[in-house]
């Protein structure tokens, strides 16, 4: 019998994909959830703007729920995150209230790091922020240090570098910060602190990271000067921000699972609708193009300041490539799923300059190397990347997400090309960015 079974097991935490005969392909047209980065920013800017912000297509995942809960606790009125249209009634710039309890960012680095920019710059108010086990082990000094240069008062574990953090809000001083890393979270944190700071605050980064904050801040009425040559952004403090209508495009980081699945599962063809193709995020498309994937962009358009397209992917034999340098920040979240693509590519793929992956929701280099090795892949962990020799057949195994959403989904896609049954422990982590992942997988699977 030809069969595939995809089922969350009884505890609702594990996922079993039993691909006994491998005669499956992926077919159809699918929609992906809203962009996580844009969702956070629309909730945050809506919460501090004057008047009403309407957000369409917000990601209804765990991470934006953490952001919404934090800003509700500081006075913003945010409608329940259960519909395609969310209303945010903002408090107005500088009017976030002191919360009565600890702010919990859950698993979300973006929530914690961006929010710190607001909290540090709200004079006279005291805040405590924490997160889950993963977030409490992720480095916060990358935002604490520049905020301290602006005059912020922040205390935390291990020389103020780990959450929980306590913040006594202050009037800050503008700085020009030269960030040692290309990080949109660092850049955005400083720009958001600069919103409340009289004068001009500048951030320069070594290479360009995602620019959703810049686009949305301008959309809400902030004055920004952007120098693409030097990767510098300057914000002028104390603007009037007015609530807006934001339409959130589909998340290319979620589309990436289907782009790779469509490219590696024989006979597949998928059309992924409404994908955000902001050039600071399209590294995955360039990497797959280098690997000679059959991918076409259709119906390109601009939706509330962000470029969008439908993307068609067909199965093809992939070739190995080398991924590194300036491309890394533009596909930083897609490296786990690119590792799965590399397992199916002819030759040896090298991913380098990606040490940042060690401080994501899990150590993504170590975890992908260990879990794909278990399934039979030839994969070696490098200090700053991975070396993967394609062409080995994967076998079903027991693997673990390490509670990292992108690992859970990458392993689920890997299991589609594995012989036998794969159990992904703690796969429920996918709900952080993609609550409908398993349902969509069930919809697109075709058994011949």
Length in residues, the chain: 448
| Maximum separation of any 2 CA atoms in the chain, in Å | 70
Consult the annotation and say whether 142 binds a ligand: no
Q: How far is the CB of 153 from ligand S3P (least distance, A)?
A: 23
Residues taking part in catalysis: 333
Q: Residue 125: what are its φ and ψ, rounded to 5°?
A: -120, 150
For 42, 76, 85, 100, 347, the CA distances from 52, given in Å and listed in that order, are 12, 10, 12, 24, 53
37 is in an annotated binding site: yes
State yes or no: 138 annotated in a binding site: yes
- C-alpha–C-alpha distance, residues 411 and 372, integer Å: 8
CB closer to ligand S3P out of 139 and 267: 139
Is residue 406 part of an annotated ligand binding site?
yes
Residue 136 marked in a binding site: no
Is residue 217 within 8 A of residue 189, CB to CB? The reply is: no
CB 202, min distance to ligand S3P, A: 18
Helix 335-343 with 364-374: angle, nearest 10 deg: 30
Q: Which is nearer to ligand S3P, 62 or 333 (CB)?
A: 333
Which is nearer to ligand S3P, 278 or 423 (by Cβ)?
278
The values of phi and psi at residue 338, to 5°, are -65, -30
- Residue 328: CB minimum distance to ligand S3P, A: 9
User: Which residues would be at the binding site for ligand S3P (CB under 6 A)?
Assistant: 37, 40, 110, 183-185, 188, 209-210, 332-333, 356
* 364 annotated as ligand-binding: yes
β-bridge mates for residue 420, sequence order: 19
Q: Which is nearer to ligand S3P, 122 or 360 (CB)?
A: 360
Q: How far is the CB of 22 from ligand S3P (least distance, A)?
A: 32
- DSSP letters spanning 24-75: EEEEEEEE-PBPHHHHHHHHHHHHHSBSEEEEES---SHHHHHHHHHHHHTT
CA 259 from chain center: how many Å? Answer: 16
Q: End-to-end distance of the chain based on CA atoms, in angstroms?
A: 10
Q: From the CB of 291, what's the least distance to ligand S3P, in Å?
A: 22
Q: DSSP letter string over 219-244?
A: HHT--EEEETTTTEEEEESSPPPB--
Judged by beta carbon, residue 80 or residue 139, the one nearer ligand S3P is 139
List, as residue ranges, the binding site for phosphoenolpyruvate: 36, 109, 138, 185, 364, 406
List, as residue ranges, the binding site: 36-37, 41, 109, 138, 183, 185, 333, 360, 364, 406
List, as residue ranges, the binding site for 3-phosphoshikimate: 36-37, 41, 183, 185, 333, 360
């Amino acid at each position: 019998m030809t069969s595939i079974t995809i089922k969350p097991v009884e505890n609702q935490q594990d996922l079993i994909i039993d691909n006994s005969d491998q005669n499956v392909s992926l077919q159809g047209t699918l929609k992906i959830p809203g962009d996580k980065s844009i969702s956070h920013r629309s909730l945050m800017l809506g919460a501090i703007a004057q008047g009403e912000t309407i957000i369409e297509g917000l990601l209804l995942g765990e991470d934006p729920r953490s952001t919404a809960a934090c800003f509700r606790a500081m006075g913003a009125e945010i409608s329940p995150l259960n519909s395609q249209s969310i209303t945010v009634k903002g408090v107005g710039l500088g009017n976030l209230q002191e919360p009565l309890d600890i702010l919990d960012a859950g698993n979300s680095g973006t929530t914690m790091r961006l929010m710190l920019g607001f909290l540090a710059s709200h004079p006279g108010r005291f805040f405590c922020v924490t997160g889950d086990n993963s977030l409490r082990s992720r480095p916060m000094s990358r935002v604490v240090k520049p905020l301290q240069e602006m005059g912020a008062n922040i205390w935390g574990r291990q020389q103020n570098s780990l959450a929980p953090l306590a913040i006594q809000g202050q009037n800050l001083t503008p700085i020009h910060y030269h960030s040692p890393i290309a990080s949109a979270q660092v850049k955005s944190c400083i720009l958001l602190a600069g919103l409340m700071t009289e004068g001009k605050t500048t951030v320069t980064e070594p290479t360009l990271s995602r620019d959703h904050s810049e686009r949305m801040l301008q959309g809400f009425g902030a004055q920004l000067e952007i120098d693409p040559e030097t990767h510098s952004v300057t914000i002028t403090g104390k603007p009037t921000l007015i609530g807006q209508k934001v339409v959130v495009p589909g998340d290319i980081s979620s589309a990436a699972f289907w782009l790779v699945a469509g490219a590696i599962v024989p006979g597949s063809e998928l059309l992924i609708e409404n994908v955000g193709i902001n050039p600071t995020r399209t590294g995955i498309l360039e990497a797959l193009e280098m690997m000679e994937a059959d991918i076409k962009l259709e119906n390109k358009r601009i939706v509330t300041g962000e470029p969008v397209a439908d993307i068609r992917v067909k199965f093809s034999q992939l070739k190995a490539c080398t991924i590194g340098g300036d491309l890394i920040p533009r596909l930083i979240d897609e490296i786990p799923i690119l590792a799965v693509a590399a397992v199916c590519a002819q030759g040896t793929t090298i991913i380098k300059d990606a040490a940042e992956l060690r401080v994501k929701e899990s150590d993504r280099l170590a975890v992908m190397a260990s879990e794909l090795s278990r399934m039979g892949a030839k994969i070696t962990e490098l200090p700053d990347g991975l070396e993967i020799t394609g062409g080995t057949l994967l076998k079903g195994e027991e693997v673990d997400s390490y509670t990292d959403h992108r690992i859970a989904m990458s392993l689920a896609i890997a299991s589609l090309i594995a012989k036998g049954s794969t159990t992904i422990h703690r796969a429920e982590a996918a709900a952080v960015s993609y609550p409908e992942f398993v349902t969509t997988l069930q919809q697109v699977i075709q058994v011949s």
